[in-house]
Amino acid sequence: MVLAAMLALLLPAGAALAAKPIVLGCPLSTAFLYGWDAERAINLAVEEINAAGGVKVGGEMRPLKVEVIDTRDLEPGVPVSEALMGVEKLILEKHANFIVGGPVRSEAALAAMALLSKHKMVSILTTGALTPKYHAMVGKKPEKFKYLFRISGEAKWMVLGELVPCLSDIGKQFKLDKLFIMVQDVSHARTGGKILKKVMSKKGWKVLADPVVYPTGTTDFSMGLLEAKKKGAQVIIIWMDMPESAILLKQWYDMKVPALPFGTIIAAAEQPGFWKATDGKGEYCLANVVNAGNAPSNATPWTMKFVKAYQKKYGMEPEGYGTSSSYMAVYVLKDAIERAGTINSDKVAAALKKTDLMGVYGRIRFDPKTNQIIPSLDPKEGAVGTVFQWQAGKRVVVFPPKIATGKILLPPWMKQGK
């Protein structure tokens, strides 16, 4: 009797595990933050889903299986073709049913679009690639690219929807209006830097120079910082996904540059281990982690549940901007497959378009024309971002106001403007 009851309890999970798994192919640059954080988050979501019985496809419960290939696309000097080969291998050799994750570098993600549509492969981009070109291309050729979705933020919204309002708030609060921009020599950063210069100039800020562009792997930022100091910069925008951005912040601290560092994208400062790694020299640095849930906040009831689950499994808080979106992508895909009742690409893509669920970083819906997640500053309306500031060893969320847990502080060697 007891055995029968135990068997009955175990049946759903057992049945799911016996069924043919749904393979999630994950092309990720695993040696870099935006690759390994996505891999960890995908694995966490898959474990949770499988533990709860799997994905209901028609009348059958099927488990999820993760296949990761290191695309190396974030490494300097690695050609885009490497990432494309990785994606093709996932489709042809690993028999992936869906692609979740990357390619991570914008250039590689754009190049993979044609390949994915040739194979009618539903793909949810979750990390890295911020270029607005991605969803613009989907919007331009909706039939060809109908299988391609992006569940994380993109550069245009990040600048216009988050960075500009956040900078305006900083400007008003501390009477600051002099901006200096330092970007990495990659597509999304160069584009973002140019847009930001144009927009902030129109908003009345003095943008002190064209964005200073640094090649991937730069280890000395002194000349740029000296220029910023000489020109009287009050806020330094940093847009870099390379780990060497930590050097920039150390130099900023050592040179006591009287300007607030704001990492629109700053891989090094996003990680919880950044504080220890820099001996606290990165204090006061602001960092955008693209989606809520990548730093602790109460954006939705699911946010802290996710943060705690990640912390329990990996011994640290979610690390970078690809974490919560990669986790969410698996749940969104599960939801779409269950609604479609099949894993057929056309039907799942159609179901994904109708997604509407409250996730880790707010309401998750895709723009019907471009398949880009709909962003918002209010988690009840759409996907919210997160800007945090390092304060006394903690990542304190300071923007958007609806989910903020603290206020922005200036470094002690910096004076408020007049």
**How much of the chain is in helix, strand and coil states, percent to nearest 5?**
40, 20, 40
In angstroms, what is the minimal distance from the CB of 108 to other proteins?
Answer: 18
How far from 165 is each of 192, 239, 314, CA to CA, in Å? 15, 17, 34
How far is it between the farthest Cα atoms of the chain?
A: 81
Give least dist CB 247 to other proteins, A: 4
In angstroms, the Cα distances linking 250 to 24, 44, 201, 221, 269 are 39, 33, 28, 10, 11
Q: Considering beta carbons, is residue 85 or 247 the nearer one to other proteins?
A: 247
Shortest Cβ 39–other proteins spacing (Å): 11
Which residues sit at the interface with other proteins, rule CB under 8 A?
A: 31-33, 36, 75-76, 185, 212-215, 217-220, 222-224, 226, 229, 243-247, 250-251, 254-257, 267-268, 271, 273-274, 276-279
Distance CA 23, CA 75 (A): 26
| CB of 31 or CB of 51, closer to other proteins | 31
* Beta pairing class for 98-101 and 22-28: parallel
Contacts of 236 (CB under 8 A, 6+ apart): 179, 180, 181, 182, 225, 228, 252, 257, 259, 260, 261, 262
Between 193 and 400, name the residue whose CB sits nearer to other proteins: 193
Q: What's at 259, amino acid-wise?
A: A
Rank residues 246 and 286 by Cβ distance to other proteins and give the closer one.
Answer: 246
Nearest-approach distance from CB 229 to other proteins, in angstroms: 7
> Which residue, 146 or 281, is less far from other proteins as judged by CB?
281
CB count in 10 Å sphere of residue 302 = 22
Contact of 236 with 221, CB cutoff 8 Å = no
129 or 183: CB nearest other proteins? 183
Taking the complex as a whole, how short is the minimal distance between the CB of residue 83 and other proteins, in angstroms? 17
> Which residue, 60 or 279, is less far from other proteins as judged by CB?
279
Q: CA 1 → CA 4, 5, 213, distances in Å?
A: 5, 6, 71
CA distance linking residue 22 with residue 199, whole number of Å: 45
Shortest reach from residue 157's CB to other proteins, in Å: 26
As measured in angstroms, the least distance from the Cβ of 255 to other proteins is 4
CB of 282 to other proteins, least distance (A): 10
**Rounded to the nearest 10 degrees, how much is the dihedral formed by the CA atoms of 303, 306, 310, 313?**
150
**Identity of the residue, 89 or 250, whose beta carbon is nearer to other proteins in the bound complex:** 250
Burial (CB count <10 Å: 0-12, 13-18, 19+), residue 276? exposed
Cα angle 288-292-296, degrees, rounded to a multiple of 5: 95
**Cβ 41 to other proteins, closest distance in Å?**
16
Task: State which residue, 204 or 315, has the beta carbon closest to other proteins.
Answer: 315
Q: Which residues pair with 265 in a beta bridge?
A: 239
CB of 212 to other proteins, least distance (A): 6
Choice between 58 and 217, CB closer to other proteins: 217
In terms of Cβ atoms closer than 10 Å to its own Cβ (0-12, 13-18, 19+), residue 247 is: middle
